[in-house]
Amino acid sequence: MFRIFTLVFIVLLSCSIHSQEILRPDRPVAFVGGMLLDGYEAAEPIHHSVVIFDDGRIVAVGERHNTPIPGNATVIDISGKTLLPGLIDAHVHVDLIGHGDYTRYYKFLQGTKRLHEVMPIAAKQMLRAGVTSAIDLGTPFQILDLRDKIRAGEIPGPRLTISGPWITRIRWPGIPPEYEIFIDSPEEAATRARELIEQGADVIKVWAGLTEEDYRAVVDVAHQHGVKVHAHLYHPEAIRAAIAAGVDVFQHVGSARNPPYDDDLLAQITHNNIPIVQTISHRIWVYPATVAFPERLYNPIHKKDMPPDIYAEVIDSFNNFHRLSYFYDIGTETRNSKVAARQFIEAGAYMGVGTDAASPLNFHTEAMWYEMSALVESGMTPIQVISAATKTNAEILGQFEQLGTIEPGKVADMIVIDGNPLANIDAMAHVEIVVKDGGVWYAESAASGPVIEIGHAF
């Protein structure tokens, strides 16, 4: 069934790519002179590299001295910079923009009916940060219109894989009803999963309070349709139930609210090769960074493209940020997470990268590099994190044949970084050029020469 689904997906992806043609250069493009990290963890960097793409696909990869460049190509010199695959964020919320208080924010959105304005802002912020694909886990089905407009090239943003509302037995106070589907039996869980898929969900998200039987019911329906199931998990008993039921991807495990896990549970997760998306930075990295440098909350990049009243509401929510309910247990969470995150790394778990952006103070504009930096601090090497955020996340998406690495035949998704992330992972903050589906986007810092001629400013 997954093989059939993969073939269907490739057809859909191909249609999506063809719809981006209006954004693409009308001739080949060659990035020349930079250090290439192709997405494979074990591969050596290619120095003084050449990568050529045309009509949305990568056509050649090699060293400058032995890789011919077509005479009609636009040549972009990226000497002194790093080229790597477009980032894939395995956990985002396109309805969020970093507001400090969920309850207050949702009341604001409902009262002003502004969700349709917020989502394109979030999408553009992610693209600007080098995220060319993302998994949205929980935005209501208004996101379908955004997903389809991005596919059609009408709105800049990452290609989106979406869950729609999550399935749960526990209601989250302050969350509008369109965000969650409350169930009270495995049979209802199966019915709701089927309905989500029929409405357009690409994946299913299961949330808190579910039993093993609930998980199994959702997994059975999802797998019949070639759809993966992502579980929001913290507690050991829920993790064991999800393992037994065959849940595909574990989200948040090791990120905050639980003490370190026992060795048996770690071994079960690792030996079953279950992808782990920890989202560790959204509390333990973002909060200390804000205490140390509260000025980060007022970075003009967050304001860009945002209507003044929405920006004012977001900024006002940061007053006394250390008292926000989201950070109520930050001390315990910091202690637990730093140990738990390292546990999975040392156990050799199958590690993806996701940010939970844009949860409070965790902006789409910087969430990915914060998460990657937090994982390096927790024990991964920079190349391990880069491979996890590209190749592994493409595998989690089920799209590795098309995305996640830079090699001939794959979709032209790549980013140019000013600096060397192998020496300092924080260089990931300095994205200068983003290529998605062969369309070129550039930051102000890269606004010169041939990039301007063939690209789009963001």
Q: Minimum mean pLDDT among 42-46, 190-194, 305-309: which range? A: 305-309
Q: What value does the mean pLDDT of the chain take?
A: 92
Query: pLDDT tens for residues 33-66?
Result: 999 999 999 999 999 999 999 999 999 999 999 9
Reported confidence tier of residue 231, pLDDT bands at 50, 70, 90: very high
- How many CA atoms lie within 13 Å of 451's alpha carbon, on the beta-carbon side? 21
Tokens in use for 59? 């056509």
At residue 2, the pLDDT reads 44
Q: What is the mean pLDDT of residues 159-184?
A: 94
Section 261-281 average pLDDT: 95
pLDDT in tens, 348-373: 999 999 999 999 999 999 999 999 99
Reported confidence tier of residue 23, pLDDT bands at 50, 70, 90: confident
Residue 383: pLDDT band (50, 70, 90) is very high
Q: Which fold has domain 87-397?
A: TIM Barrel (3.20.20)
pLDDT, average across residues 205-230: 97
pLDDT over threshold 90, residue 8: no
pLDDT in tens, 143-159: 999 999 999 999 999 99
Q: Are 408 and 59 in contact (CB under 8 A)?
A: yes
With a cut of 50, say whether residue 6 has pLDDT above it: no
* Model confidence at 338: pLDDT above 90: no
- Position 20 scores a pLDDT of 53
- For residues 24-33, average pLDDT: 95
Amino acid identity, position 392:
T
> Would you list the domain boundaries of the chain?
2-85+406-457, 87-397
Give the C-alpha separation, 4 to 298, whole Å.
48
User: What are the backbone dihedrals phi and psi of residue 37, each rounded to the nearest 5 degrees, phi first?
Assistant: -110, 110
Q: What confidence score (pLDDT) does residue 12 get?
A: 47
Torsion angle, alpha carbons of 320, 124, 109, 294, to 10 = 0
Per-residue pLDDT tens for 419-429?
Answer: 999 999 999 99
- Using an 8 Å Cβ cutoff, are 369 and 355 in contact? no
Res 22: pLDDT? 57
pLDDT over 90 at 258, yes or no: no
What's the number of CA atoms in the CB half-sphere (13 Å) around residue 221? 24
**How is residue 268 written in tokens?**
């079960």
pLDDT band at 9 (very low <50, low <70, confident <90, very high): very low
CATH numeric code, 2-85+406-457: 2.30.40.10
Say which residue the tokens 């880069």 belong to: 386
Could you tell me the pLDDT band of residue 11, with boundaries at 50, 70 and 90?
Answer: very low
pLDDT tens digits for range 276-296: 999 998 878 899 999 999 999
Q: How far is CA 436 from the centre of its chain?
A: 14
- The rounded percent of the chain whose pLDDT value lies above 90 is 80
Query: b/e per residue, 138-170, with b = 16+ CB within 10 A?
Result: bbbeebbebbebbbebebbbbbbbbbbbbbbbe
Task: Determine the pLDDT at residue 210.
Answer: 96
Closest C-alpha to 163, from 109, 95, 115: 95
Question: What is the average per-residue pLDDT within 268-283?
Answer: 93
Q: Dihedrals φ, ψ of 169, to 5°?
A: -105, -5
Mean pLDDT, residues 225-250 taken together = 97
State the alpha helices, DSSP H only, in 279-409. Answer: 281-284, 286-292, 300-303, 308-316, 330-347, 367-377, 382-387, 393-397
